[in-house]
Amino acid sequence: MIKKLRKAVLPVAGLGTRFLPATKAIAKEMLPVVDKPLIQYAVDEARAAGIEQFCLVTGRGKTSLVEHFDIAYELEATLKQRGKHKELQELREHHLPPGAVVTVRQQEPLGLGHAIWCARAFIDEDPFAILLPDDLVLADVPCTKQLADVYAQTGGCVVAVTEVPREHTSRYGILDIGRDDGRLVEVRGLVEKPKPEVAPSNLSIIGRYVLLPDVVEHLARMERGAGGEVQLTDAMAKLIGKVPFHGLRYEGRRFDCGDKVGFLEAQIAFALKRPDMAPAVRAFLKDYCAPDA
C-alpha cells in the first residue's frame, strides 16, 4: 500500500550571504518575488500537492519565517476596520491550520543531508517532500504536485530533474539514468557535483524531492561527501535498487532565486503572469530594452 504524501520539509537555515546586505536582518526566504515571499511560494506549492504538515529546518535569525505563518490579529483587525477586505482575504487565504507548521533548529551548517536529518522526528516513518525555497518554479501544474502524482503511481522516490550544460555538472547532483521515456527516467545512480568529464549524464536534480523515510537511516551515519558536508545525494544513492527511484522532467520553468540574476528574472516572469501587472511591466521593459536605452 502506498502511503499518502502529507509531509514536507523545507530547509531554511542558510545565511543568504549572496544577498548581503539585504539579508543582514531578514531571512533570505522572506525576500519577496513581486508581493509574496519565497517561503510562501514553497508552502503554497506543497499545499497544492495535498501536503498538510510542514517542518521548517531553521537557524539563528529565522524567527520571521515562523511569524509569517502566524495570525497577525492586530493587522487583520486594522484591515477590517479600514474596509480593506481584499487585502484581508489575501492574508487569510494563506492561513495554515493550528499545528500544521513545526520548526527544528540546524545548529551547524553541515549540508543539506544534515538539515533533513534534523527533521527526522517529524518525518518518522512517512514519505515526505523536500522543497528548497531558493528554487522557484513557474508552472501550470505545481512542480511538487507533478512529483506527488508520480509517487502515487510508483510508490518510490521521485526527484525533479532538468538538463544542464555539461560544463556545469560540477555544480549539481547528477543522475546516472536507465530507462527514459522522455519524461520519466529510471535512476540507476546519483553523483554529487561530478566533473564534466566523468559526469554520467547532464540531468541535474533541482530543489524538489519526494523521498521515502528510509533515507534518514543513511543520513544518520553522518558520512561526509562533497565539500566535507553530509550530502543528501549520497544518502539517496544508497536507496537505488532497493526502492523504485525515478527522475521527472517536470513541466515549468525554474528560477534560481539564490542567485541575484535569477532572482531578478523571477520577478519579471511572475509579474508578467499577473493580469493586473503584465501590461505595465511590458511597457517599462520596452523602455529599458530600447536600442538607445
pLDDT tens for each residue of 147-169: 999 999 998 999 999 988 888 88
pLDDT for res 138: 96
98 and 207 housed in the same domain: yes
Cα gap 207→181, rounded to integer Å: 22
Residue 63 is part of a domain; what is its CATH number?
3.90.550.10
Number of domain units in the chain: 2
**Pairing verdict, β 32-33 and 53-58:** unpaired
Q: Dump pLDDT digits (tens) for 179-192.
A: 888 899 999 998 88
Q: Dump pLDDT digits (tens) for 94-149.
A: 888 888 999 999 988 888 999 999 999 999 999 999 999 999 999 999 999 999 99
Given a cut of 80, is residue 293 above it in pLDDT?
Answer: no
Q: Dump pLDDT digits (tens) for 20-51.
A: 888 888 889 999 999 999 999 999 999 999 99
282 and 232 housed in the same domain: no
291 and 210 housed in the same domain: no
Closest Cα to residue 243, out of 174, 145, 151? Answer: 151
Q: Is residue 2 part of a domain?
A: no
Q: Is residue 1 part of a domain?
A: no
Per mean pLDDT, which of 42-46, 81-85, 166-170, 173-177 is the most reliable? 42-46
Asked if 147 and 49 touch (Cβ cutoff 8 Å), the reply is yes
The owner of cell 550530502 is: 231
227 and 93 housed in the same domain: yes
190 and 265 housed in the same domain: no
What is the pTM assigned to this prediction?
0.92
pLDDT for res 182: 85
141 and 225 housed in the same domain: yes
230 and 114 housed in the same domain: yes
266 and 223 housed in the same domain: no
State the chain's mean pLDDT as an integer: 91
Name the strand (E) or helix (H) holding 8: strand 7-11
127 and 34 housed in the same domain: yes
164 and 234 housed in the same domain: yes
pLDDT for res 63: 85
Cα gap 23→37, rounded to integer Å: 13
Per mean pLDDT, which of 7-16, 53-62, 70-79, 129-138 is the most reliable? 129-138
pLDDT for res 292: 64
Domain that holds residue 35: 7-258
166 and 276 housed in the same domain: no
Q: Dump pLDDT digits (tens) for 217-258.
A: 999 988 887 778 888 988 999 999 899 999 999 999 999 998
pLDDT for res 228: 80
Q: Is residue 122 part of a domain?
A: yes
Alpha helical stretches, state H, the chain: 38-48, 63-68, 73-81, 85-93, 112-118, 120-123, 143-154, 214-219, 232-237, 260-272, 278-289
